[in-house]
Amino acid sequence: MRAFALGKRNLLFIAIAFVAIILGFALMAGEGSTPEHFNPDIFSFRRIVVAPFITFAGYVFMVFAILYKPKKEDSNTDRE
Q: How confident is the model at residue 72 (pLDDT cuts 50, 70, 90)?
A: low
pLDDT at 8 over 70: yes
Number of structural domains in the chain: 1
pLDDT at 73 over 70: no
Query: Is 66 inside a domain boundary?
Result: yes
Q: Give the pLDDT score at 79.
A: 54
Please provide the average confidence, as pLDDT, over all residues in the chain: 87
Q: Give the pLDDT score at 77.
A: 55
What tens digit of pLDDT does each residue of 36-61 get?
888 888 889 999 999 999 999 999 99
Which parts of the chain fold into alpha helices (H)?
A: 8-28, 45, 51-67, 72-78
Query: Is 63 inside a domain boundary?
Result: yes
